[in-house]
Amino acid sequence: MPSCPECTAREKKKIQEKYEAETPEEERHRDDLIKLFDEIDFPMKLDSSTKHFICKRCGLYATREQVSDIRYKLNQREKTRQDKQDDYLDWWQKSKKEKELT
Ligand SMILES: [Zn+2]
């Protein structure tokens, strides 16, 4: 059964916020978060007559294709946010270097 992409994304955000609140920055590991994320489980129920999956928690009702589509879009959004941070870091480090040179 696919797990609900909406509930999973919401839970991930919650777990990450909790983790960041409880764990000092220097003790944080990406692997810890991934392990926590692995425990998230929101299996959807298959409605065999309509071939749609239903999430009992948030009420999402979608075909398998729509479920993977939503998951893909949510992952994309997550990725672009991280990319932007990386870009910012790059820019910041570069400008720092340039300042040191001048
Ligand atoms: Zn859901």
Domain ranges in the chain?
Answer: 5-101
Question: What are the φ and ψ backbone dihedral angles of 46, each rounded to 5 degrees?
Answer: -90, 125
- List the chain residues with pLDDT less than 50: none
Residue 40 CA to ligand 1 center (angstroms) comes to 12
Instruction: Give the neighbor-by-neighbor strand order of the sheet with 61-62.
Output: 45-47, 52-54, 61-62
Residue 77 CA to ligand 1 center (angstroms) comes to 18
pTM for this model (two decimals): 0.74
Residue 54 CA to ligand 1 center (angstroms) comes to 8
H-helix or E-strand spanning residue 7? helix 5-22
Determine the pLDDT at residue 28.
Answer: 94
Determine the pLDDT at residue 102.
Answer: 64
Residue 22 CA to ligand 1 center (angstroms) comes to 26
Determine the pLDDT at residue 94.
Answer: 81
Residue 14 CA to ligand 1 center (angstroms) comes to 14
Residue 4 CA to ligand 1 center (angstroms) comes to 5
